Amino acid sequence: MTVTTERDALEAARSAFRLELLDAGLLIATSSPGVYGRSATFERILTGLDAVLTDMAAPLNATAVRFPPVYPRADFERTDYIASFPDLSGVVSSFEAGDREHRELLGARERGEAWDGWLSPADVVLTNAICHPLYATLEGVLPADDQVFDVFGYGFRHEPSLDPMRLQSFRMHEFVYVGTPQGAQEYRDTWLDVAQATLASLGLPITAVAANDPFFGRAGRMLVSAQLRENLKIELTVPIYGDLHEGTAIASANCQREHLTAAFGIRTPDGEVAHASCVAFGMERTTLALLRTHGLDVATWPAEVRGLLGL
C-alpha cells in the first residue's frame, strides 16, 4: 500500500471502530469529536479495571488524593505546559464585566457573531495531566525521603479526533513517586514491569516501547530527541488497528527527573530538589483496548478476565 492509502485505511478503521462503539451504545456521540458520553456497561468495565489497578498498587502504600478537573492558573503558569503543548491546552474564561458589556455580548450573540471577546481569563485552567495539581500542593520539603501518591481524575487535551482512542476529556489513574533521583529511576523501572504484567493478566497483548511527549513546534523537536535519547518515557501499547498502526499507548511510565519538582520547589529532607516518576494508566483507552481485544459483548469475554474485573 502507498502511504496515502495506508493512512486512509487507518482512518477508515478508526471510524469503523467508533461506529461499532456508538452502535453498541458503549459510547454516546456528541457534536464535538472526542467528547462522548459513556454507557453503564462501559463504566462497569472501567470501574473493574480501576479496582485491579488499585489492588496492583497496594504494596506502594500510596497516599490517595483526588482533584477536580480544573486547577489554578497560577499553578499552570509554573509548569511549561503552555510553552510545550499550546495546542493541547484548555484555559477557562468567563464574564467579568458590567451591564454595558453584557448588552454588547447579547447583541453580538443575537446577530450570530462571536461573543468570546467579552470574556476574560478565569483563575483556573483545565487540568491536562492529573499529577500537576498534586505537585502544586507539595511545595517545600517532603516529610520523608520519598512518598508515593495515587491520583485519579479527568484530564483535558485539545486533540479532537474521530479515533475513539483519542479523546478530548478522559480519566487517568497515576501512581506518582516523589523522592530521590535513584528512587525515582528504580520506581519507574519496577512499576513499568508490574503495570505491564497487570495489563497482560487482563488478556491484553502489551508491548513496551520508548516514547516521547508531543512537544509543539521546532523547539519541541529538540525536547523530543532528548526524551528519547535518555529513555525517559516508555509506553505500553496494544494493537487496535492490526497492521495499520504500530499500537496505541494505554499506559506510560515516565521519569520526570526534576522537571516538575523544580518548578514547584519540592525538596527532599536533605535539601536537594526532589525527583519524580510516575506510572499513568489511560482509563478510557484501556477500557477500549479490552473491548477491542475481547469483543464488544462483555458476556462473551474469557471467564478469567471477567473474574478479575468483577464483571
Q: Are 79 and 260 in contact (CB under 8 A)?
A: yes
75 binds ligand ATP (CB under 6 A): no
- For ligand ATP, the closer of residues 172 and 192 by Cβ is 172
Residue 199 is a binding residue for ligand ATP (CB under 6 A): no
Binding of ligand ATP by 292 (CB under 6 A): no
Counting contacts by CB under 6 A, is residue 249 touching ligand ATP?
A: yes
Does 132 bind ligand ATP (CB under 6 A)? Our answer is no
What are the cell numbers at 308? 478479575
Strands 91-94 and 120-126: antiparallel
Does position 45 interact with ligand ATP (CB under 6 A)? The reply is no
Q: Binding-site residue total for ligand ATP (CB under 6 A)?
A: 17
| Member of 213, 273, 293, 296 binding ligand ATP (CB under 6 A) | 213
Point out the residue whose Cβ comes nearest to ligand ATP.
282
Indicate left, alpha or beta for 237 from its phi (over 0: left) and psi (-120 to 50: alpha).
Answer: beta
Give me the count of residues in the chain.
311
Instruction: Report whether 115 contacts 105 (CB < 8 A).
Output: yes
3-class state of residue 283 by DSSP: helix
Beta carbon of residue 27, minimum distance to ligand ATP (angstroms, whole number): 12
Rounded least distance, CB 14 to ligand ATP, Å: 13
Q: Give Cα separations from 48 to 39, 44, 194, 215 (angstroms).
A: 14, 6, 18, 33
- 80 counts as binding ligand ATP under rule CB under 6 A: no
Q: Does 158 contact ligand ATP by CB under 6 A?
A: no
For ligand ATP, the closer of residues 48 and 282 by Cβ is 282
Of 203, 196, 197, 171, which Cα lies nearest the Cα of 292? 203
Helix (H, G, I), strand (E, B) or coil at 68: coil
Where do the H-state alpha helices sit in 164-282?
181-201, 217-229, 259-263
Instruction: State yes or no: residue 280 binds ligand ATP (CB under 6 A).
Output: yes
Rg (CA), the chain: 21
Selected range binding ligand ATP among 37-45, 163-171, 188-196, 298-306, rule: CB under 6 A: 163-171
Among 277, 282, 301, 308, binds ligand ATP (CB under 6 A): 282
Q: How far apart are the first and last CA of the chain?
A: 41
Residue 251 found at the interface with ligand ATP (CB under 6 A): yes
153 near ligand ATP, rule: CB under 6 A: no
CB of 310 to ligand ATP, least distance (A): 22
Which of 131, 134, 250, 263 touches ligand ATP (CB under 6 A)? 250
Q: Pick the piece of the chain touching ligand ATP (CB under 6 A) from 37-45, 159-167, 256-264, 303-311.
A: 159-167
The answer to whether 262 touches 279, Cβ cutoff 8 Å, is no
66 to each of 137, 138, 233, 277, how far by Cα in Å?
12, 14, 24, 18
Footprint of ligand ATP on this chain (CB under 6 A)? 157, 159, 166-167, 170, 172, 213-214, 235, 249-252, 280, 282, 284-285
